Amino acid sequence: MKIVTNLLVVFSLAIAPLAMAQTINQWKDPKTGNTIFSDQPPPPGTNVVERRGTEPGASGQQSYATRTAAEKFPVVLYTTAECLEQCSKGRDLLNGRGVPFGEKIISSEGPELTELRTLTGGETVVPVVLVGKQPFKGFDPAAWNNLLDLAGYPKSAPYGSKPSGAFAR
Protein backbone atom coordinates (compact mmCIF):
# COMPACT_ATOMS: atom_id res chain seq x y z
CA MET A 1 0.00 0.00 0.00
CA LYS A 2 2.88 2.34 0.79
CA ILE A 3 4.31 1.85 -2.71
CA VAL A 4 0.98 2.82 -4.31
CA THR A 5 0.77 5.94 -2.11
CA ASN A 6 4.34 6.92 -3.01
CA LEU A 7 3.63 6.42 -6.71
CA LEU A 8 0.53 8.61 -6.48
CA VAL A 9 2.51 11.36 -4.76
CA VAL A 10 5.28 11.19 -7.38
CA PHE A 11 2.73 11.19 -10.21
CA SER A 12 0.88 14.17 -8.71
CA LEU A 13 4.10 16.13 -8.37
CA ALA A 14 5.07 15.29 -11.94
CA ILE A 15 1.84 16.50 -13.52
CA ALA A 16 1.32 19.60 -11.34
CA PRO A 17 3.54 21.86 -13.51
CA LEU A 18 1.69 20.67 -16.61
CA ALA A 19 -1.64 21.66 -15.12
CA MET A 20 -0.31 25.12 -14.29
CA ALA A 21 1.21 25.66 -17.76
CA GLN A 22 -2.02 26.68 -19.43
CA THR A 23 -2.92 29.84 -21.24
CA ILE A 24 -6.11 31.50 -20.11
CA ASN A 25 -7.95 33.64 -22.65
CA GLN A 26 -10.41 36.35 -21.67
CA TRP A 27 -12.85 37.91 -24.12
CA LYS A 28 -16.33 39.40 -24.35
CA ASP A 29 -18.98 37.26 -25.98
CA PRO A 30 -20.39 39.49 -28.77
CA LYS A 31 -23.87 37.90 -28.50
CA THR A 32 -24.40 38.10 -24.74
CA GLY A 33 -21.82 40.69 -23.66
CA ASN A 34 -20.59 38.31 -20.95
CA THR A 35 -16.90 38.05 -20.15
CA ILE A 36 -15.59 34.57 -20.95
CA PHE A 37 -12.54 32.95 -19.34
CA SER A 38 -11.34 29.81 -21.08
CA ASP A 39 -8.29 27.71 -21.83
CA GLN A 40 -9.68 27.38 -25.36
CA PRO A 41 -9.03 30.10 -27.96
CA PRO A 42 -11.93 32.48 -28.63
CA PRO A 43 -14.16 31.97 -31.68
CA PRO A 44 -12.84 33.47 -34.93
CA GLY A 45 -13.48 37.19 -35.23
CA THR A 46 -13.63 37.73 -31.45
CA ASN A 47 -11.22 40.24 -29.97
CA VAL A 48 -9.17 38.76 -27.15
CA VAL A 49 -9.18 41.16 -24.21
CA GLU A 50 -6.40 39.46 -22.31
CA ARG A 51 -4.25 36.35 -22.61
CA ARG A 52 -2.49 35.06 -19.53
CA GLY A 53 -0.07 32.24 -19.84
CA THR A 54 2.66 30.52 -17.98
CA GLU A 55 4.73 29.49 -20.95
CA PRO A 56 8.44 29.69 -20.11
CA GLY A 57 9.93 32.89 -21.42
CA ALA A 58 6.61 34.68 -21.71
CA SER A 59 6.93 38.28 -20.59
CA GLY A 60 5.06 37.51 -17.38
CA GLN A 61 7.46 34.66 -16.64
CA GLN A 62 10.73 36.53 -16.95
CA SER A 63 12.77 36.81 -13.82
CA TYR A 64 12.44 39.94 -11.75
CA ALA A 65 16.00 40.92 -12.71
CA THR A 66 15.24 40.56 -16.43
CA ARG A 67 11.97 42.52 -16.21
CA THR A 68 13.65 45.30 -14.21
CA ALA A 69 16.62 45.52 -16.57
CA ALA A 70 14.36 45.48 -19.64
CA GLU A 71 12.26 48.33 -18.23
CA LYS A 72 15.27 50.48 -17.38
CA PHE A 73 17.59 49.44 -20.21
CA PRO A 74 15.68 48.06 -23.23
CA VAL A 75 17.86 46.33 -25.81
CA VAL A 76 17.70 46.85 -29.57
CA LEU A 77 19.85 45.00 -32.10
CA TYR A 78 20.51 46.70 -35.45
CA THR A 79 21.29 44.33 -38.33
CA THR A 80 21.09 44.11 -42.12
CA ALA A 81 20.04 41.27 -44.40
CA GLU A 82 23.67 40.93 -45.53
CA CYS A 83 25.05 40.62 -41.99
CA LEU A 84 25.04 36.90 -41.38
CA GLU A 85 27.78 35.59 -39.09
CA GLN A 86 28.37 38.52 -36.73
CA CYS A 87 24.68 39.41 -36.41
CA SER A 88 23.81 35.78 -35.77
CA LYS A 89 26.46 35.59 -33.04
CA GLY A 90 25.05 38.76 -31.48
CA ARG A 91 21.51 37.37 -31.59
CA ASP A 92 22.73 34.11 -30.04
CA LEU A 93 24.53 35.96 -27.23
CA LEU A 94 21.41 37.96 -26.35
CA ASN A 95 19.15 34.91 -26.52
CA GLY A 96 21.68 32.86 -24.53
CA ARG A 97 21.32 35.35 -21.70
CA GLY A 98 17.53 35.50 -22.03
CA VAL A 99 17.59 39.18 -22.94
CA PRO A 100 14.32 40.36 -24.49
CA PHE A 101 15.28 42.57 -27.42
CA GLY A 102 13.89 44.19 -30.49
CA GLU A 103 15.66 43.83 -33.79
CA LYS A 104 15.73 46.49 -36.47
CA ILE A 105 16.79 45.29 -39.89
CA ILE A 106 18.30 48.23 -41.76
CA SER A 107 17.37 48.72 -45.40
CA SER A 108 18.92 51.08 -47.95
CA GLU A 109 16.89 54.10 -46.80
CA GLY A 110 14.39 54.69 -44.06
CA PRO A 111 14.04 55.84 -40.48
CA GLU A 112 16.02 52.86 -39.12
CA LEU A 113 19.06 53.86 -41.22
CA THR A 114 18.87 57.43 -39.93
CA GLU A 115 18.53 56.10 -36.38
CA LEU A 116 21.56 53.82 -36.86
CA ARG A 117 23.69 56.65 -38.26
CA THR A 118 22.74 58.84 -35.30
CA LEU A 119 23.86 56.11 -32.89
CA THR A 120 27.12 55.38 -34.71
CA GLY A 121 28.25 58.91 -35.50
CA GLY A 122 27.30 58.72 -39.16
CA GLU A 123 28.66 55.23 -39.84
CA THR A 124 26.65 52.37 -41.28
CA VAL A 125 28.13 49.53 -39.25
CA VAL A 126 26.30 46.41 -38.06
CA PRO A 127 25.67 44.74 -35.77
CA VAL A 128 25.03 47.51 -33.28
CA VAL A 129 23.54 46.77 -29.90
CA LEU A 130 21.75 49.51 -27.98
CA VAL A 131 21.41 48.83 -24.25
CA GLY A 132 19.31 51.61 -22.79
CA LYS A 133 20.94 54.65 -24.36
CA GLN A 134 24.41 53.09 -24.73
CA PRO A 135 25.24 51.86 -28.26
CA PHE A 136 28.09 49.52 -29.14
CA LYS A 137 29.30 49.11 -32.74
CA GLY A 138 30.37 45.69 -33.98
CA PHE A 139 30.20 42.33 -32.25
CA ASP A 140 32.52 41.97 -29.27
CA PRO A 141 31.19 39.39 -26.80
CA ALA A 142 33.14 40.82 -23.86
CA ALA A 143 31.87 44.35 -24.48
CA TRP A 144 28.29 43.22 -25.06
CA ASN A 145 28.35 41.11 -21.89
CA ASN A 146 29.78 44.06 -19.96
CA LEU A 147 26.94 46.34 -21.13
CA LEU A 148 24.36 43.70 -20.24
CA ASP A 149 25.97 43.08 -16.83
CA LEU A 150 25.95 46.81 -16.05
CA ALA A 151 22.27 46.97 -17.05
CA GLY A 152 21.50 44.13 -14.62
CA TYR A 153 20.58 41.36 -17.06
CA PRO A 154 21.13 37.80 -15.76
CA LYS A 155 24.15 35.92 -17.07
CA SER A 156 22.10 33.10 -18.58
CA ALA A 157 18.60 32.47 -19.86
CA PRO A 158 16.19 30.54 -17.68
CA TYR A 159 15.31 27.04 -18.83
CA GLY A 160 12.68 27.11 -21.57
CA SER A 161 12.99 30.80 -22.40
CA LYS A 162 11.94 31.85 -25.88
CA PRO A 163 14.29 33.70 -28.21
CA SER A 164 13.77 37.33 -29.18
CA GLY A 165 14.62 39.23 -32.33
CA ALA A 166 13.39 39.31 -35.89
CA PHE A 167 14.05 35.61 -36.49
CA ALA A 168 12.57 34.33 -33.24
CA ARG A 169 10.37 31.28 -33.68
pTM attached to this predicted model: 0.63
Residue spans per domain, the chain: 2-54, 60-151
Strand partners, 36: 27
pLDDT tens digit sequence for 2-58: 675 655 555 555 554 544 445 676 767 777 777 777 767 777 766 655 655 544 444
Comparing CA positions, the residue from 78, 95, 81 lying closest to residue 139 is 78
Q: Where does residue 154 rank: exposed (0-12), middle (13-18), buried (19+ CB within 10 A)?
A: middle
Q: Using alpha carbons only, what angle is made at residue 50 by residues 44 and 56, rounded to the nearest 5 degrees?
A: 105
Q: Residues 62, 70: contact at Cβ < 8 Å?
A: yes
Domain 60-151, architecture per CATH: 3-Layer(aba) Sandwich (3.40)
